[in-house]
């Protein structure tokens, strides 16, 4: 990562934990996880809490839907690390690689059900333009999303807009397909806490 403290500035106990993870998993901890261990009282503790609540807390959206939203927001932001991570996690959650690939390729083409499609379209607009109109929200509601689902989607969007920006600013190292797949397995088993 671009700041040396994010590569080497961890407490001895944390460094030991990183070494143990590497030993047992056969790969280093991804930078996205590492970052949350750096001065966790400043960022990591509350960021993990928020992200876990958004991605795994109660919601009418499935985990797969929310991971797909995370991948889509990352795609609009052009955040390579997060596209890889959440494409892999959505794929594993849905057990459907074609569905995820199709949505990320062209939101209008594939057979994505409403209200997910309208919700993704609204999130894309919000991330790209920094704003959405009440009319955009009326479209999403008309497509069948409840107000609660819209709020839940906005939380996913906020969480991954932040993570993607930090990934790009700090320069998270991209993973191999096997690395993303291992991360996806972990995130579906343990979540973000």
What is the CB neighbour count within 10 angstroms for residue 104? 19
Give the separation between CA 143 and CA 118, rounded to whole angstroms.
Answer: 7
In the bound state with another protein, the residue whose beta carbon lies nearer, of 5 and 101, is 5
Give the separation between CA 141 and CA 22, rounded to whole angstroms.
Answer: 46
Smallest distance, another protein to C-beta of residue 184, A:
22
Smallest distance, another protein to C-beta of residue 31, A:
13
Instruction: Classify residue 161 by burial, with Cβ atoms within 10 Å: 0-12, 13-18, 19+.
Output: buried
Smallest distance, another protein to C-beta of residue 48, A:
10
Smallest distance, another protein to C-beta of residue 95, A:
26
Give the separation between CA 87 and CA 68, rounded to whole angstroms.
Answer: 7
Smallest distance, another protein to C-beta of residue 53, A:
5
Smallest distance, another protein to C-beta of residue 26, A:
29
Instruction: Classify residue 80 by burial, with Cβ atoms within 10 Å: 0-12, 13-18, 19+.
Output: middle
In the bound state with another protein, the residue whose beta carbon lies nearer, of 77 and 89, is 77
Give the separation between CA 41 and CA 8, rounded to whole angstroms.
Answer: 18
Give the residues lining the site for another protein (CB under 8 A).
2-6, 9, 38-39, 41-43, 46-47, 49-50, 53-54, 57, 77-80, 122, 126-127, 130-138, 141, 146-148, 150-152, 154-155, 157-159, 161-162, 164-166, 168-171
In the bound state with another protein, the residue whose beta carbon lies nearer, of 59 and 91, is 59
Residues 137, 138, 142, 146: what is their CA dihedral angle, to the nearest 10 degrees?
50
In the bound state with another protein, the residue whose beta carbon lies nearer, of 107 and 141, is 141
**Pair of tokens at residue 64:** 């797969």
In the bound state with another protein, the residue whose beta carbon lies nearer, of 27 and 136, is 136
In the bound state with another protein, the residue whose beta carbon lies nearer, of 116 and 122, is 122
């Amino acid at each position: 990562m671009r700041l040396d403290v994010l590569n080497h500035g961890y407490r001895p106990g944390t460094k030991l934990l990183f070494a143990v993870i590497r030993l047992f998993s056969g790969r280093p901890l991804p930078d996205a996880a590492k970052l949350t261990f750096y001065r966790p009282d400043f960022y990591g503790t509350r960021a993990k809490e928020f992200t876990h609540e958004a991605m795994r807390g109660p919601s009418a959206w499935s985990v797969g839907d929310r991971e797909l939203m995370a991948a889509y927001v990352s795609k609009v932001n052009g955040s390579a690390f997060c596209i890889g991570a959440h494409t892999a996690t959505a794929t594993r959650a849905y057990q459907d690689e074609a569905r995820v690939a199709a949505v990320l390729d062209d939101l209008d083409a594939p057979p994505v059900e409403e209200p997910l499609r309208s919700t993704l379209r609204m999130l894309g607009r919000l991330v790209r333009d920094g704003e959405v109109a009440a009319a955009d929200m009326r479209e999403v509601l008309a497509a069948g999303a409840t107000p609660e689902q819209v709020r839940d989607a906005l939380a996913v969007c906020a969480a991954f807009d932040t993570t993607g920006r930090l990934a790009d600013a700090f320069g998270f190292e991209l993973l191999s397909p096997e690395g993303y797949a291992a991360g996806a397995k972990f995130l579906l088993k343990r979540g973000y806490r």
